[in-house]
Amino acid sequence: MGYPPIEDHAMIGNMHSVALVTVDGTIDWMCIPRFDSPAVFASLLDDEKGGYFRISPRTEDVTCKQFYWPDTNVLVTRFLSADGAAELIDFMPVSGAPVVGEKHRHHPLIRRVTAVRGHIDLRMECRPAFNFARDSHVVDITQDGAVFSSETLILGLDTKVPLRVEGDAVVAEFSLAEGDSATFVLSDLPDGDRCGTALSQDDAEALFHHTVNFWRSWLAKCQYRGRWREMVHRSALALKLMTYEPTGAIVAAPTCSLPEGVNGQRNWDYRFTWIRDSAFTIYAFLRLGFTAEAEQFKDFLQRYCLDVMATENGPLQVMYGIDGRHTLTEEILDHLDGYRGSKPVRVGNAAFNQLQLDIYGELLDAIYLFNKYGTPISYDFWLVLQSLVDWVCENWRRQDEGIWEVRGGSQDFVYSKLMCWVAVDRGLRLADKRSFPAPRERWLAVRDEIYRDIMSKGWNRDRQAFVQRYGGTALDAANLMMPLVFFLSPTDPRMLKTLDAILQPPEKGGLVSNSLVYRYNVAETFDGLVGEEGTFNICTFWLVEALTRAGRFRRDRLDEARLMFERMLGFTNHVGLYAEQTGFHGEGLGNFPQAFTHLALISAAFNLDRALGPGG
């Protein structure tokens, strides 16, 4: 079958799980019933064993176009051929959708194909591969569809189109004249249940309209009115899709083991929620006016992440399951070939028990922002936060694995020290803002000590820049956060020199290539892994923000920020989504789509638009 480019996908979902749909109408990634469930369709990780769900014309001479129904997460794929044209609409009804037909459909995926011109011959093939292709299943044809039964999950496919069994798949070949349509509904079934009456055309239309209205009503709350509204809206819709509705957690990405470099080892499972993303998530939602989402995510942090006793690596974990679970054991799936042969395929993430000191700063910054722009926090919650700041005061000198979760050993990472400073600073700001009791003199002393430590040990006189770790010489794009968290003035000479160093191309020791930013130089940094990687999309948006803040005092920096931002927008895919990284040829790399990238896009767009002003 082959592997489509990572960027040749769109995403649909229901805030419990998502499906990735290629430009030719193939679903090659879907986990049921949750983001972190085992995949049912995973041909993206093994094109022979992984499973897929395809609806496509039977002719090879066809042009495909794909786009979202305006202001929604409803996907349209058009097939254009010499004999006719068809429109495939893919969506997953959200909570509150009307019950149509029988009630057994749990989190259904609806695929409706309609002939819009002439006559078109189509083929549908549904070939699940349960539990990452580890579990076998049996197929039964029913009066109105088919049932796929494995030991752990049963799926029903409802349709009025006649089906036949081919091995462990079902297939339908059918023709549509102009105005005719066919509907396929995939859902998980309770044990022992069977497919019921297939959806009528009217029922499918009712669910379609409900889903469209839900997304449009939600997006109407967005308060961003700036220059890049379309991209900001798409980023907001993508983030909402990656939110797990029962808890408010946001997955870093809905996929696992898509490679940061093809044939390399940098293949990770991102179907969890990172504490690191918390500040960006809450900030982005609050800036756009989505206060309910910000509060729900804050509640997730408070309920699931701050209720455990401290371990050797502190009271916080780097990441949590979307249901708040703490153990995310990493496993290698040797039977899968990986995307274009990129092994290993990993599920779970061993970094959950790493020591990463920066997460305390990100969490305290998130809560500080929520208290400022959302709802004031309670005294009991303050007591928990106070204990976190006290822990940071005792432990900030420790070495850790850092923001990039290296597997090459602990270091004194500058960014980790920076965010420890943020943790103490935001604790002080919260205490003063709300007049909470706190050991202010001790916190002030520690904050100042961290500041001096960074300025003396994190600054490399030879490089004339802040570097990745104490005693090192390699640059790190994470240090672009210094002016964004108000550690340094954006026009501080040391910050400007760091910007100048980072802006150099890699062959001259910098991190920028054609306005795109590498997180660090893999040749200069021992991260315990082999292989190359692409430019890191979030780092590009961080550079845009750092330049934007410097541009308030130097217009040339502001012009540079705008040019870089708009170039970066040119690397989005055909429906406005980003992977984690961008490769040498502009291809998407890493898990897709990446929440962190879209959060950073929103922040950069908001602040750049504000700096430019109405006539800028």
What integer pLDDT is reported at residue 315 of this predicted model? 85
Nearest alpha-carbon partner for 331 in 288, 267, 388, 276:
267
Backbone dihedral angles phi then psi of residue 156, each to the nearest 5 degrees: -115, 140
Spell out a b/e string for 338-368, using b for 16 or more CB atoms within 10 Å of the CB, else e: bbbebbebbbbbebbbbbbbbbbbbbbbbbb
User: What parts of the chain have a pLDDT lower than 50?
Assistant: 103-104
Q: What are the contacts of 141-147 at 24+ separation with CB within 8 A?
A: 141/165, 141/170, 142/194, 142/195, 143/195, 144/195, 144/196, 144/197, 144/198, 145/185, 145/195, 145/198, 146/170, 146/195, 147/189, 147/194, 147/195
Would you say 90 and 185 are in contact if contact means Cβ atoms under 8 Å apart? no
pLDDT tens across 258-281, in order? 999 888 888 999 999 998 887 788
Q: What are the contacts of 481-489 at 24+ separation with CB within 8 A?
A: 481/415, 481/418, 481/542, 482/418, 482/546, 483/546, 483/549, 483/550, 484/542, 484/545, 484/546, 484/549, 485/361, 485/365, 485/418, 485/419, 485/422, 486/425, 487/418, 487/421, 487/422, 487/451, 487/454
Would you say 122 and 113 are in contact if contact means Cβ atoms under 8 Å apart? yes
What integer pLDDT is reported at residue 33 of this predicted model? 95
Q: Where are the domains of the chain?
A: 9-218, 221-611
What integer pLDDT is reported at residue 281 of this predicted model? 87
How is domain 221-611 classified at the CATH fold level?
A: Glycosyltransferase (1.50.10)
Tokens of 407: 């597997």
pLDDT tens across 332-382, in order? 999 999 999 999 999 999 888 888 999 999 999 999 999 998 899 999 999
Tokens of 492: 């501080």
The rounded Cα 104 to chain-centroid distance in angstroms is: 30
Q: Which helix (H) or strand (E) is 603 found in, with range?
A: helix 595-612
Would you say 253 and 272 are in contact if contact means Cβ atoms under 8 Å apart? no
pLDDT tens across 71-106, in order? 999 999 999 999 999 999 999 999 876 665 554 467
CB neighbour class for 581 (10 Å; exposed up to 12, middle 13-18, buried from 19) = buried
3-class state of residue 511 by DSSP = coil
What integer pLDDT is reported at residue 303 of this predicted model? 84
What integer pLDDT is reported at residue 524 of this predicted model? 75
Task: Give the Cα separation of 578 and 355 in Å (integer).
Answer: 28
What integer pLDDT is reported at residue 192 of this predicted model? 59
3-class state of residue 146 by DSSP = strand
**pTM confidence score:** 0.95
What integer pLDDT is reported at residue 64 of this predicted model? 96
Domains 9-218 and 221-611 equal at CATH topology level: no
Would you say 90 and 110 are in contact if contact means Cβ atoms under 8 Å apart? yes
β-pairing, 52-57 vs 39-41, is unpaired
CA distances from 511 to 257, 462, 507, 534, 557 (A): 25, 17, 9, 11, 17
What integer pLDDT is reported at residue 104 of this predicted model? 46
Task: Give the Cα separation of 421 and 437 in Å (integer).
Answer: 20
CB neighbour class for 441 (10 Å; exposed up to 12, middle 13-18, buried from 19) = exposed
Q: What does the DSSP 8-state code read for residue 116?
A: E
CATH 3.40.50.2000 fits 9-218, yes or no: no
Task: Give the Cα separation of 369 and 372 in Å (integer).
Answer: 5
Number of other residues whose CB lies within 10 A of the CB of residue 513: 15
Q: What end-to-end distance do the CA atoms of the chain give, in Å?
A: 49
- Torsion sign across C-alpha atoms 470, 473, 474, 475: positive
CA distances from 174 to 146, 161, 183 (A): 16, 8, 12
